[in-house]
């Protein structure tokens, strides 16, 4: 028996997905939450503190589960926690089983399994308001008597029941008593059957169902939302709305952030003495990390939409609608929305794959998510189209730029599907994943849960990707900064349009690296200057635009629509005085950017989400390889067809 005066009780929260566990956890712990991963896996470990009786307890939120039979990683972790097998976590003093009153029988299944772990159990009955609105009746005392554990009705959003819950838990902490439950049945199916028998009896004694309300409002909504025709139409409509909102709403804070980082850079530069330190901080750290953080509003909005879609119950419907199509390439229906999110940014998409239980399916989805043309590719496409394809039409009226843009999106999707198909038959070979998924009742999203979800995920991204982004930013900066050679004054007759910045970049390690890789990229029609831009844009794709600006001596603050930059690109000559850029080069570069893994933030997130450097490096490697191959075929094929 631990010393009661110093012992900090550990309370675990267990329950089915969609049972209202997160809402209850948020209500009990408030802002005291900490989110981490369980050691070695990407299962989230959420912990907070909660006042039980008169002392502070640790409250730990287990992943949402249907069962404790350890078939998925989530179930494995949960049963380890309950047994006290996770390092740094003692065996829980009490388990709060969160049970959805509107879905009592299936929710109680997990509770009967908890009974076998020899820990005190308290049942927290959620959704009781919805249940009563449907005019069902429940006798909580009888239910408690049949189950043999305390049952407390809670409504986290209005604070109902939290005191009673704390009291019941506190009582069990000071004098633990475990439920008496013996299970008959010698086979596995026999035991499952026996548990459900026990549940049916307990429910029959305590609940009067109103059969009239059984079909419920969710089924009526689903007549439209999962309708064979309108369901798909609405899904497309929702996606369009999400993208439209992201691109319009996010642009204002993104511009502000960009200006903010610019101003911060200027302020730091004027505060620090001139030299390497000031250059490192301003051009390396602030510009590098700022270039990624500029995308934060967009990432936040995307997280917001994903949270809303999850919280309302629509996410499961989208998976239901799209599963057949996704299964053709061996993916799960749940992969659809993460992949769609990746059209705005792969980072939230990759983080949203956590809902896919099967690890191989999840990895396959992560591996193809960056092929979806994200918003950072748009400046690259825009620059190339503006420089070489502006004002041209196909069939007399369709803008060539629009056709090319569409073709780039389509190329990404097609390659993603082919790669998924191949991966699922080779490295990630597994039998077709089972699709056994609850379609939870529709609910109004809980504002607090949604916001908390959004902020937690965004913070996780910043925190986890931060170190990698910082490191890569500094490395890329150093490549472009060193060595510091004194730029020799150029004779006046040669001094046309050569800026010291451009001269310096050409002499830097990155510039030399550009020369080193030139023979490799020459078959793509790229010269060493484009090579330098490719190296620099590993930080983030849109960095290509500013790097080209520097290298073509038009200053680093040009945008993708800048006329000076466009004409500099068009007129660029190589050492032999030949034109570097042709429409074919531009198209080749676009194709390269569709497929190449030019984004350090994605690399960082993939490392975190797969927990494996080999998968991460594999991804960088195969994407770069594919990009090279496709660009090669485009350029050489184009030349064979007589384009230049």
Partner 1 sequence: MRLPEVEIGSSASVVTVHGQGAVPRRLMEMGLVPGVTVRVVKSAPFGDPIEIRLRGYSLALRINEAEAVEVAV
- Asked if residue 50 lies in contact with residue 57, where contact means CB atoms within 8 angstroms, the answer is yes
Q: Which residues from 194-223 bind partner 1, rule CB under 8 A? A: 196, 209, 214, 218-219, 222
166/54 Cα distance (integer angstroms): 9
**Polymer length in residues for the chain:** 644
Main-chain phi, psi angles of 542, to 5 degrees = -70, -10
Which of 209/504 has CB closer to partner 1? 209
* Interface pick for partner 1 out of 188, 274, 575, 578 (rule CB under 8 A): 188
Q: Which helix (H) or strand (E) holds 106?
A: helix 104-114
Among 324, 425, 484, 639, indicate the residue that binds partner 1 (CB under 8 A).
324
Closer by beta carbon to partner 1, 332 or else 457: 332
Q: Are 628 and 417 in contact (CB under 8 A)?
A: no
Q: Is the CB of 27 or the CB of 114 nearer to partner 1?
A: 114
Among 37, 51, 327, 399, binds partner 1 (CB under 8 A): 327
Contact 440, 345 (CB under 8 A): no
333 makes contact with partner 1 (CB under 8 A): yes
Contact window for partner 1 (CB under 8 A) among 240-248, 288-296, 318-326, 342-350: 318-326
Candidates 105, 137, 255, 561: give the one binding partner 1 (CB under 8 A).
Answer: 105
List phi, psi (to 5°) of 643.
-80, 160
Q: What is the DSSP string of 105-159?
A: HHHHHHHHHHGGGTS-EEEEEE-HHHHHHTT-EE-HHHHHHHHTS-EEE-BTTTT
Q: What sign for the dihedral angle of Cα 541, 544, 545, 547?
A: positive
Interface stretch with partner 1, choices 102-110, 152-160, 170-178, 399-407 (CB under 8 A):
102-110
Given the complex with partner 1, which of 134 and 382 has the nearer CB atom?
134
Q: Which of 436, 444, 495, 640 binds partner 1 (CB under 8 A)?
A: 436
* Interface residue with partner 1, options 30, 56, 84, 193 (CB under 8 A): 193
The reply on whether position 226 binds partner 1 by CB under 8 A is yes
Omega before 483 within 30 of 0, i.e. cis: yes
Q: Under a CB-based contact definition with an 8 Å cutoff, are residues 319 and 337 in contact?
A: yes
* Residue 76 Cβ vs partner 1, minimum distance, rounded to whole Å: 13
Task: List the one residue from 208, 325, 447, 487 that touches partner 1 (CB under 8 A).
Answer: 325
Q: Which residues pair with 12 in a beta bridge?
A: 60, 95
Contacts of 431 (CB under 8 A, 6+ apart): none
Minimum separation from the CB atom of position 123 to partner 1 (A): 17
To partner 1, the closest distance from the beta carbon of 117 in angstroms equals 17
Query: Any contact of residue 237 with partner 1 (CB under 8 A)?
Result: no
| Nearer to partner 1 (CB atom), residue 188 or residue 578 | 188
Contacts with partner 1 in 34-73 (CB under 8 A)?
Answer: 66-67, 69, 71
If binding is defined by CB under 8 A, does position 310 make contact with partner 1?
A: no
> How many CA atoms are closer than 13 Å to the CA of 397, on its beta-carbon side?
0
Pick from 6, 182, 189, 496: which binds partner 1 (CB under 8 A)?
A: 189
Q: What's the min distance (Å) between Cβ of 102 and partner 1?
A: 7
- Of residues 268 and 437, the one with the C-beta less far from partner 1: 437
CA 111, CA 30: separation in Å to the nearest integer?
A: 26
Size of the site for partner 1 (CB under 8 A): 44
Q: Which residues contact 550 (CB under 8 A, 6 or more apart)?
A: 499, 501, 502, 505, 556
Q: 547: exposed, middle or buried (C-beta count within 10 Å: 0-12, 13-18, 19+)?
A: buried
DSSP state of 286: I
List contacts with partner 1 (CB under 8 A). 66-67, 69, 71, 102-106, 109, 188-189, 192-193, 196, 209, 214, 218-219, 222, 226-229, 231-232, 316, 319-321, 323-325, 327, 333, 432, 434-441
């Amino acid at each position: 028996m631990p010393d009661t005066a110093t012992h900090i009780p550990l309370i675990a929260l267990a329950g089915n997905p969609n049972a209202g566990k997160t809402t209850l956890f948020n209500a009990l712990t408030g802002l005291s939450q900490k989110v981490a991963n369980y050691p070695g896996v990407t299962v989230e470990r959420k912990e907070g503190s909660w006042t039980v009786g008169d002392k502070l307890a640790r409250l730990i939120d287990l992943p949402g589960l249907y069962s404790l039979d350890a078939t998925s990683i989530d179930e494995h972790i949960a049963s380890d926690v309950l047994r006290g097998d996770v390092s740094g976590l003692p065996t829980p003093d009490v388990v709060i089983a969160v049970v959805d009153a509107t879905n009592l029988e299936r929710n109680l299944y997990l509770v009967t399994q908890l009974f076998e772990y020899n820990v005190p159990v308290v049942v927290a009955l959620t959704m009781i308001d919805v249940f009563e609105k449907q005019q069902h009746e429940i006798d909580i005392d009888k239910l408690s008597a049949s189950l043999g554990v305390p049952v407390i009705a809670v409504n986290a959003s209005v604070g109902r029941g939290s005191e009673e819950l704390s009291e019941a838990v506190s009582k069990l902490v000071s004098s633990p008593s475990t439920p008496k439950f013996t299970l008959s049945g010698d086979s596995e199916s026999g035991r499952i059957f026996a548990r459900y028998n026990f549940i049916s009896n307990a429910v029959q004694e305590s609940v009067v169902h109103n059969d009239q309300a059984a079909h419920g409002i969710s089924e009526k909504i689903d007549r439209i939302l999962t309708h064979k025709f309108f369901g798909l139409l609405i899904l497309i409509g929702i996606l369009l709305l999400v993208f439209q909102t992201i691109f319009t709403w996010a642009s204002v804070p993104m511009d502000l952030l960009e200006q903010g980082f610019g101003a911060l850079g200027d302020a730091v530069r004027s505060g620090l003495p001139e030299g390497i330190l000031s250059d490192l901080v301003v051009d390396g750290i602030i510009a590098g990390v700022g270039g990624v953080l500029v995308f934060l509003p967009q990432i936040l909005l995307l997280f917001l939409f994903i949270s809303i879609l999850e919280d309302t119950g629509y996410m499961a419907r989208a998976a239901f609608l799209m599963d057949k199509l996704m299964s053709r390439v061996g993916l799960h229906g749940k992969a659809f929305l993460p992949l769609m999110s990746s059209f705005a940014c792969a980072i939230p998409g990759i983080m949203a794959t956590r809902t896919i239980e099967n690890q191989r399916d999840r990895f396959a989805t992560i591996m193809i998510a960056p092929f979806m043309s994200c918003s950072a590719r748009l400046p690259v496409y825009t620059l190339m189209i503006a420089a070489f394809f502006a004002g041209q039409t196909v069939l007399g009226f369709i803008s060539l730029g629009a056709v090319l843009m569409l073709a780039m999106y389509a190329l990404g999707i097609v390659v993603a599907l082919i790669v998924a198909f191949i991966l699922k038959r080779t490295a990630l070979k597994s039998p077709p994943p089972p699709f056994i998924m609850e379609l939870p009742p529709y609910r109004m999203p809980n504002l607090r849960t949604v916001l908390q979800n959004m902020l937690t995920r965004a913070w996780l991204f910043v925190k986890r990707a931060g170190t990698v982004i910082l490191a890569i930013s500094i490395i890329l900066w150093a490549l472009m900064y060193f060595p510091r050679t004194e730029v020799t004054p150029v004779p006046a007759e040669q001094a046309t349009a050569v800026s010291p910045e451009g001269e310096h970049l050409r002499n830097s390690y990155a510039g030399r690296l550009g020369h080193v890789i030139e023979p490799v990229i020459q078959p793509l029609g790229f010269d060493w200057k484009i090579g330098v831009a490719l190296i620099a844009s590993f930080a983030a794709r849109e960095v290509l635009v500013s790097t080209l600006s520097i290298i073509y001596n038009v200053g680093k603050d040009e945008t993708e629509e800048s006329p000076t930059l466009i004409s500099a690109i068009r007129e660029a000559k190589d050492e032999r005085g030949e034109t570097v850029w042709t429409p074919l080069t531009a198209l080749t570069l676009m194709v390269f950017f569709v497929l190449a893994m030019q984004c350090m933030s994605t690399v960082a997130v993939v490392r975190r989400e797969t927990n494996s450097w080999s998968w991460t490096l594999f991804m960088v490697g195969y994407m770069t390889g594919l990009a090279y191959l496709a660009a090669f075929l485009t350029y050489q094929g184009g030349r064979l067809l007589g384009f230049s």
